[in-house]
Amino acid sequence: MTAAAPPPHAHDLKPFRHSHAFGDAGAARRRRALAQVTAITLVVMVVELAAGWWSGSLALLADGWHMGTHALALGGAVLAYQMSARAGDHAGYAFGGWKIEVLTAYTSGLALLVAAAWIAIDAVATLRTPQPIAYEEAMAVALLGLAVNLLSAWLMARSGGHGHHHGHGHGHEHGEAQHDAHHHGRHDHHDHHGHHGHDHNFNAAYFHVLADAFTSVLAIAALAGGLWFGWAWLDPAVALIGAMVIGQWAIGVLRGSAKALVDATADPALRERITELVESDGDATVADLHVWQVGAAAWSAAVAVVADRPLPAADYRARLAAIEPLRHVTVEVHRCTGPAVTPS
């Protein structure tokens, strides 16, 4: 007489579900710094526009609208952080909303590149057809812009960097005859292995501020040369040099964010470390491995393991617990189907 099947029951899935918000500990600081810098930029924009309208200064009006474009870029970065945080627990985003931030960084890089091209075109046109410059007024605007950008850069530098997170790692493991999902919280700090992620959104905004500060310094130097020595050609010449430097920065932002958008940021050293740990028993072999970035300092991995004497998937995943940046790990285990090899 066969034993009766156990009655059906509802599975408790709470231990196996988790958030896909992979932000690091420094994300909140960076977000606050961006909000502060955006507010400062908006205030200066309003002051310059009001002063320009009252005094009839075209230089102040132009710089006021210029500040507005920076406020728009910085505000977009803040908005990207908020949208990313909301997407963390949304089922429509497979691995959270980090790529919203990366997409914003890519857009910011494009804006920097367009700005560099505009400055270069304007500089060449001015070299061909020199225009009169109100040196003293322009110098005052450049000094104000430099002060604002130095303050902004200081606020961002103080809150920037790569946050060290104390997050929870989560794994999904699929065995040969079982599909066990084990949700482990972990606070490992002993195998960083040099994998420090990058906040592309914050870096792009920071480069916007640095680019503006850089152009302010160049403008002050060029205006001083024109005011004291009559070198009118120095202003467009220095602007052209600045455009080339900003263009290089923009290409760097675009290159880094584009790689993140197409999941091409996998660190070879991280892949090697994962393989080394999984294959540490001399039996298991990594048949397939995918590693991709899901946060500024967070990575995900999907590992297919083949072994003659396969262990439970949780055992292989436990070997990877030492790698702190791995925040989401899937392990698939297979028994080797090849012919046995007799040792010679």
Judgement on whether residues 255 and 332 belong to the same structural domain of the protein: no
Whether 140 is in a domain gets the answer: yes
Query: pLDDT over 90 for what percent of the chain?
Result: 15
Once rounded to an integer, what is the mean pLDDT over residues 209-230?
85
Count how many domains the chain has: 2
CA atoms of 62 and 110, how far apart (whole Å): 22
Residue from 203, 208, 100, 76 nearest 148 by CA: 208
Whether 35 is in a domain gets the answer: yes
pLDDT digits 0-9 by tens, 6-21: 666 665 555 555 555 5
Q: Which of 9-23, 147-161, 240-254, 279-293 has the lowest mean pLDDT?
A: 9-23
pLDDT digits 0-9 by tens, 258-273: 988 888 877 889 999 9
pTM, rounded to two decimals: 0.70
Quote the pLDDT of residue 92: 65
Mean pLDDT of the chain: 76
Residue from 127, 141, 130 nearest 212 by CA: 141
Quote the Cα angle for 214-260-306, to 5°.
Answer: 150
Judgement on whether residues 178 and 146 belong to the same structural domain of the protein: no
- Decide which of 312 and 49 is more confident: 312
Quote the pLDDT of residue 193: 45
Whether 174 is in a domain gets the answer: yes
Quote the pLDDT of residue 15: 55
| Structure tokens, 18 | 């988790």
Where a domain ends, among 261, 285, 313?
261
Where a domain ends, among 261, 278, 303?
261
Whether 8 is in a domain gets the answer: no
DSSP 15: G
Strand blocks (E) in 110-252: 170-174
Whether 36 is in a domain gets the answer: yes
Report the CATH number that the domain containing residue 304 is assigned in CATH: 3.30.70.1350
Residue-number span of the structural domain to which 50 is assigned: 24-162+198-261
Report the CATH number that the domain containing residue 253 is assigned in CATH: 1.20.1510.10
Judgement on whether residues 310 and 216 belong to the same structural domain of the protein: no
- Decide which of 82 and 217 is more confident: 217
Judgement on whether residues 140 and 279 belong to the same structural domain of the protein: no
Judgement on whether residues 224 and 102 belong to the same structural domain of the protein: yes
Where a domain ends, among 246, 261, 276?
261
Quote the pLDDT of residue 25: 56
CA atoms of 35 and 302, how far apart (whole Å): 36
Whether 5 is in a domain gets the answer: no
Strand partners, 295: 298
Burial class (CB in 10 A: 0-12, 13-18, 19+), 307: buried
Judgement on whether residues 117 and 248 belong to the same structural domain of the protein: yes
Question: Helix, strand or coil for residue 75?
Answer: helix
- Please state the φ and ψ torsions of residue 305, each to the nearest 5 degrees: -115, 135
Quote the pLDDT of residue 63: 67
Question: Helix, strand or coil for residue 172?
Answer: strand
Decide: 270 and 193 in contact? Cβ < 8 Å.
yes
Judgement on whether residues 121 and 86 belong to the same structural domain of the protein: yes
